[in-house]
Amino acid sequence: MNQPELGIKISTIRNQKGITQRELSDAGNIDIRTLQRIESGEVTPRLSTLRLIAGALSTDINVFNGDEKRVENVVSADLLLALVFAGFVCLFSWILFSPIGPKSDFFLAVNLLAGIVYTLTGVFFYYGFYLIGKMRENRLMQYASLVIMATMPLFLVSVLITTEFSFVKYISHLIVIVSGINSIVFGIGLLKAGSQNAILYRGAGILQILIAPFFIIPLPALSVAGCWLTIPFMLMLIAILYREYSNLKTKQVASE
């Protein structure tokens, strides 16, 4: 899409989302004068700048090439809402499955079930961040989400067979360390996800990076502390998906 159509498109999407030029400038870390000149059609932005604008608007960059169908096919509002509910179930089952859960005989009996529910809903939950990463061409978020989706069931399996094969506990520790390192990558991906929800993304990204060492360093006390810190982190991820759902729903209503 060439100027001035590109500038008009950016301005239209920005206004539909109720974002001011200053807010878009801050969220995308773009000079406001540059943004004003782009919207007025005076200059054509570089591809890197266009990606920042697309991320800040929670919009796929292909929209600016006239390819809006691809964006709609990447993620739907209904799917995001389902992922929000999956996030709450995942969080609750995490509390029961992790070392911070209650230690009564009853809760120990449901620990296995909680682990299965946590893994299934967790894979589905992080699939949402894979889709967001794909939509915004955020490779760090996209691939880190895939690693999380792969390591969660691997960890559950390792926990289940540890009693049968003692050496598996070392594999479990390795999976935890790999997950911790990948968490740093995921956190950086969140930090790079500029959008109108930038504060949430950045807060979650910073918290994720801070949590990672608690799992990388093999000390039980640190692991328990990391489990506690995971609760506010997951709540922030749930809030992110809900805000993305609200933004997409608003866009769909506006286009009807």
C-alpha 60: how far from chain center: 16
Report, in this order, helix, strand and coil percent for the chain, each rounded to 5.
Answer: 80, 0, 20
Distances in Å between the alpha carbon of 170 and those of 145, 165, 167? 24, 10, 6
Query: What is the pTM (predicted TM-score) of this model?
Result: 0.73
CA distance 37 to 60: 21
- Run of H or E residues at 13: helix 5-16
pLDDT in tens, the chain (256 residues): 677 888 888 988 888 778 899 988 888 889 999 999 999 988 888 888 888 888 888 777 777 765 444 444 567 888 999 999 999 999 999 998 888 866 666 666 778 889 999 999 999 999 999 998 887 778 899 999 999 999 999 998 887 787 666 777 788 888 989 999 999 999 999 998 766 678 899 999 999 999 999 988 878 888 889 999 999 999 999 999 999 898 778 766 655 5
DSSP notation for 48-100: HHHHHHHHHTT--GGGGGT-HHHHHHH--HHHHHHHHHHHHHHHHHHHHHSTT
User: Distance between CA atoms of 103 and 93, rounded to whole angstroms?
Assistant: 14
pLDDT digits (tens, 9 = 90+) for 184-227: 999 999 998 766 678 899 999 999 999 999 988 878 888 889 99
Q: Cα(first)–Cα(last) distance of the chain, in Å?
A: 23
Model pLDDT, residue 195: 60
Q: How many Cβ atoms are within 10 Å of 220's Cβ, its own excluded?
A: 8
